[in-house]
Amino acid sequence: MVTIYDIAKKAGVSPATVSRVLNNGPVRISTKEKILKIIEKENFVPDNRAVYLKKLNTKKIGLIVPDVLNPIYSLKIKVIHDYLKERNYYLILGNSYGYVDEEKSILEMFERERVAGVIIGTCEGEDDSCLVPIFTRMLNNGIKIVFTGKKNYGLKVDVISVNNVSGTYKITNYLIKTGRKKIGFISGEKSLRATEERLEGYLKALKERGLKIDKEIILCEGEYKLENGKRLTKKLLRKVDAIVCGNDLMAIGAIKAIEENGLKVPDDISVCGFDDIFLSSLIKPSLTTVHQPIEKISEIACERLIGWIDGKIKKEEEILIEPEIIIRESA
């Protein structure tokens, strides 16, 4: 491969001068043009490995999501990718499947790559408190970290997330208003922040409206996926007249389960979700759900992360975005 030395030799200058051309340093216009011509002719492309060995900011950002197949994370990836690209950063992607072992190995890869910052796009999967030592080490080594939608474990990191409590509170209230009395709740693992808070909003609404809380119809286990929604819903059939689901995929599973058992949505059982993925408006009955402001969350996450990297932000913050509920056919 062509190096800066080859260019320097052909141009009759020192490598330092070529480097200055590449970095807009002070070089006489005529020499600059001569060097640029040679660079073009020789197909020279600088080697980032060497460039960023000297420079401080590697311009690389690591992003971890639990499931690229979940449209909510596809959207997160898209928004973050675009925001960063605009600012000359680029993205290394890790897909953790919600497993801490995977997440750990991805984080270690990010460390070796000396990424400037990391965005954790996770808010579902296993309990990941055991990653705290790695996060601490990364922070100590100057790698900036922003969480979206998970606990901060007392770390010096921003947390940007939707107000989960308020989301399920609003939608449960809506169900009550439409006359539903036996409202069930299904979601993924209890240990997760998303589960904890979404459950909290649901309970809050029931309490305020004086409805009885029945542990039999609250099921928080397994993954935030369609199949699991189906599985859990089967246990609630004929016990409830509405179900608040932990996310849209589970809600879609719930609708499938209800229909497969000869019942109707929303006539027999109302179903509502959380996320407002693309799909939710397309299925039938279309899904009543809590809209997650993914674009906003992702952009704030990027903005904060770059703020940290540029040294403009020094103090961590927890930023909650207020969600809206979207009323459609399923409830």
Partner DNA sequence: TTACCATTTGAAATTGATTTCAATCTCTTT
Partner DNA sequence: AAAGAGATTGAAATCAATTTCAAATGGTAA
252 binds, among DNA, a second copy, none (CB under 5 to 8 A by kind): a second copy
User: What is the smallest separation between the CB atom of 215 and DNA, expressed in angstroms?
Assistant: 53
**Four-point Cα dihedral 241, 192, 61, 315, nearest 10:** 110
Q: Which string of x and - marks every residue 237-276 that binds a second copy (by CB under 8 A)?
A: ---------------x------------------------
**Burial (0-12, 13-18, 19+ Cβ within 10 Å), 80:** buried
Number of H helices, E strands in the chain: 12, 12
Q: Please enumerate in sequence order all residues whose Cβ is within 8 A of that of 104, keeping only pairs 6 or more positions apart, or say none.
A: 131, 134
Residue 24 or 177: the one with the smaller Cβ distance to DNA is 24
C-alpha span between 225 and 83 (Å, rounded): 28
Chain centroid, CA 292 distance in Å: 11
Distance CA 154, CA 132 (A): 9
Give 115 or 199: the residue with its C-beta nearer to a second copy. 115
The sign one gets for the Cα dihedral 54, 59, 65, 67 is negative
Question: According to CB under 7 A, which one of 24, 40, 54, 177 is a site residue for DNA?
Answer: 54
Only segment of 136-144, 213-221, 265-273, 290-298 that touches a second copy (CB under 8 A): 136-144
Is 1 among the residues that bind DNA (CB under 7 A)? yes
| Cβ at position 193, least distance to a second copy in Å | 24
Q: Does 142 bind DNA (CB under 7 A)?
A: no
Which residues contribute to the site for a second copy (CB under 8 A)?
Answer: 1, 43, 45-53, 58, 68-69, 71, 74-75, 77-78, 81-82, 90-95, 108-109, 111-114, 137, 140-142, 252, 278-279, 282-284
